[in-house]
Amino acid sequence: MKRDSGKMDKRSAASDPASDAPSAQAAFASYAAPLVDHAIELAHAVREDTSPEALHKLRVSLRRLRSLWWAFEPLLEKGENTRQRALYKYLATAAGQTRDWDILIELLAHEDSGASGMAPKLQDARGGALAISRETLLNADVKHLLREALTDTSKELNTAHERVPLRKFATRRVDASERSLKKRMKHAGRAKRSNYAAFHDVRKAGKKLRYLLDFFEPVLNDNRKRTIKRLKQIQKRFGALNDVVASEGLLRDHAASLAGSADTEAALHWLKQERKRRMRCAAGLLRKQ
């Protein structure tokens, strides 16, 4: 594929010699267009490539689009922006259904999980989820939906009377996102270990800030390398926790269809213990921040 994040276009837009102070409105398309193109490529590829990695890449691409529209939310009509972000969430969820089974299968492949006998039924469930994911994405006409979203949002921004300098706008949005992350980390640090929602909020806030830095770092005045390093740690630790929590929920939700597998209870017990372990690891990281 030609590009996976649009960074080349983004840097060129941010350093355009023809404009000392490009506006956020004018720069939007240089961020959004490469992401839209990449998501369309991935959606098309998933029709042929059923691997876990292909679906994961598509889900990440759609999440990046959702984060970009969130970043430009202050410049957009609220209702339309909410609709567009809901669209990206819907498509990402469709792609993620199969990915969730892949994560569960990978976790239970651990030799201590006691779930070796579940493999055939888990693969069957994964196959069913894949069929639904592909049908949903095909029927959604992803190419048309994403092109339309890009056109409509670009038009709204380009016809706005007010212009906000890109650097000022980017700094303001990144700072707001960083404050949100710190607030959620503080709350999670005081929460009980059983309060997974507080930990999940940290993960979501960290992911959003990471995406915004991916978009805007080249135009920011200050160096955010330390922040990015911290975010990578959060994503890794809290992502590992989320994998177990989501897998435990998925297995419980489909326990009936897995009836007859003697390993179901053993798998749930192992996931519960693993969740507790990863919760301790996540809490430990919070204390170091």
DSSP string, 19-81: -SS-BHHHHHHHHHHHHHHHHHHHHHHTTT--SHHHHHHHHHHHHHHHHHHHHTGGGS-HHHH
User: pTM score, two decimals?
Assistant: 0.83
Q: Which residue, 64, 55, 54, is CA-closest to 34?
A: 64
Res. 17 pLDDT band, cuts 50 70 90: very low
Lowest mean pLDDT among 20-29, 154-163, 168-177: 20-29
**How far is residue 172's CA from residue 166's CA, in Å, rounded to a whole number?**
10
DSSP 140: H
Q: What is the mean pLDDT of the chain?
A: 86
Query: Helices 24-45 and 7-14, interaxial angle, to 10°?
Result: 170
More confident residue, 14 or 173: 173
Please give the pLDDT value at position 14.
44
More confident residue, 133 or 11: 133
Count CA atoms within 13 Å of residue 98 on its CB side: 28
Cβ atoms of 46 and 58 within 8 Å: the answer is yes
Res. 223 pLDDT band, cuts 50 70 90: confident
In the predicted model, what is the mean pLDDT of residues 237-251? 95
Residue 2 has pLDDT above 70, yes or no: no
In the predicted model, what is the mean pLDDT of residues 160-174? 93
46-98 tens-digit pLDDT: 878 877 788 889 999 999 999 999 999 999 998 888 988 999 999 999 888 88
Q: For 89-141, give the DSSP string.
A: HHHHHHHHHHHHHHHHHHHHTSTTS--GGGHHHHHHHHHHHHHHHHHHHHHHT
Helix (H) or strand (E) holding 286: helix 264-288
Q: For 201-217, give the DSSP string.
A: HHHHHHHHHHHHHHHHG
Please give the pLDDT value at position 262.
65
147-159 tens-digit pLDDT: 999 999 999 999 9
Class of domain 23-164: mainly alpha
Q: Which single residue is written with the structure tokens 């990206």?
A: 88
Cβ atoms of 58 and 42 within 8 Å: the answer is yes
Residue 167 has pLDDT above 70, yes or no: yes
More confident residue, 244 or 13: 244
What does the domain layout of the chain look like in residue ranges? Answer: 23-164, 165-289
Distance of CA 132 to the CA centre of its chain: 20
Cβ atoms of 72 and 24 within 8 Å: the answer is yes
55-68 tens-digit pLDDT: 889 999 999 999 99
In the predicted model, what is the mean pLDDT of residues 207-219? 93
**How far is residue 105's CA from residue 78's CA, in Å, rounded to a whole number?**
40
Q: Which residue, 227, 125, 222, is CA-closest to 170?
A: 222
Residue 12 has pLDDT above 70, yes or no: no
More confident residue, 246 or 45: 246
Percent of the chain topping pLDDT 70: 91
